[in-house]
Amino acid sequence: MWDYTDKVLDLFYNPKNQGAIEETDEPGVKLAMGEIGSIACGDALRLHLKVEVESDKILDARFQTFGCTSAIASSSALTEMVKGLTLDEALKVSNKEIADYLGGLPEAKMHCSVMGQEALEAAIYNYRGIPLATHDDDDEGALICSCFGITESKIRRVIVENNLTDAEQVTNYVKAGGGCGSCLANIDDIIRSVKEQAAAPALNNHSVGVTTDIANSQPRSTKPLTNVQKIALIQKVLDEEVRPVLIADGGDVELYDVDGDRVKVLLQGACGSCSSSTATLKIAIEARLQDRVSKNLVVEAVEP
């Protein structure tokens, strides 16, 4: 059992601002959404913002999270923290501040606060029309941890912002190194390099950014899929990438039907036992299928 603070437990049992923000024709406001993580890595977060266009102020923030106690508490804390801030002010919110708001997180769970910060950035960049793929040039070429899709820039950032000193801490904050372990030596090199740069008088300010890399991701084909190919690929992704994770957590998913871009699934076991987990799971599966098969897919959970 993790040693959680009362604040973490309170926000887990009574999460604030859970759900999406409904589309609105209210004049002078715009919605934004940022998404981070993948169920293959255990956590996924979708953050929704409602922004007053003229002032750039965040009027409302809501979240949908697939993850553990600290992922839900961190997401809930984040939404409370950013309401009323301008987008520029919100961009300054660090993962450490999210953890501090919660009275601290177990170190092995700090990646949940990092996920919140990244989803916030992703939402704001999306709102501003800044393409995430080009936000940080390093993301393209410096994949350090292929198990979790973590880039060098992301590792550098978390080291600098949280004063991390060893590879185990890096694993706790961004999961890099927590799989096969083959990247641990590279992480040690990055920690050494950050220390050397910190000691140097003219420190280059590293450009840091958000990555939505997903472990072992493969580029989607640009050639349109036939219906048969699409259904086969959806089934393959569910069987190879989604079900093993769910089964390990006592749940499962079965492909029920595909109607155009609507993918109907049956959630089973622990996955189908409560309405909020069903909603977040649907979103996590949808994000996976959108990444792997087609960005137009919408997942619907059907009753058995």
Known catalytic residues? 41, 112
Contact between residue 87 and residue 124 where contact means Cβ atoms under 8 Å apart: yes
Task: Give the orientation angle of helix 167-174 with respect to helix 110-128, to 10 degrees.
Answer: 60
Binding ligand FES (rule: CB under 6 A), the pick from 32, 98, 99, 147 is 147
Residues 4-43: x/- map of binding to ligand FES (CB under 6 A)?
Answer: ----------------------------------------
Q: Residue from 181, 250, 260, 269 that binds ligand FES (CB under 6 A)?
A: 181
Let me know: does 32 contact 49? Beta carbons within 8 Å.
yes
- 194 contributes a contact to ligand FES by CB under 6 A: no
Euclidean distance between CA atoms 30 and 52, whole angstroms: 7
Least CB distance to ligand FES at residue 184 (A): 7
Sole binder of ligand FES in the list 15, 42, 149, 177 (CB under 6 A) = 177
User: Between 163 and 182, whose beta carbon lies closer to ligand FES?
Assistant: 182
Give least dist CB 303 to ligand FES, A. Answer: 39
Q: Which of 176, 234, 237, 301 binds ligand FES (CB under 6 A)?
A: 176
Q: 79 near 69, Cβ under 8 Å?
A: no
* Least Å from the CB of residue 150 to ligand FES: 7
Interface with ligand FES includes 179 (CB under 6 A)?
A: yes
- Say whether residue 145 binds ligand FES (CB under 6 A): yes
Which tokens in the block code for residue 111?
A: 């990646």
- 44 to 5, 176, 277, 281: CA distances (angstroms): 22, 16, 12, 9
Q: Which two tokens stand for residue 166?
A: 């060893």
Q: Which is nearer to ligand FES, 177 or 272 (CB)?
A: 177
- Share in percent of the chain as helix, strand, coil (round to 5): 50, 20, 35
Residue type for 3, please? D
Using CB under 6 A as the criterion, which residues of the chain lie in contact with ligand FES when the complex forms?
145-147, 176-183
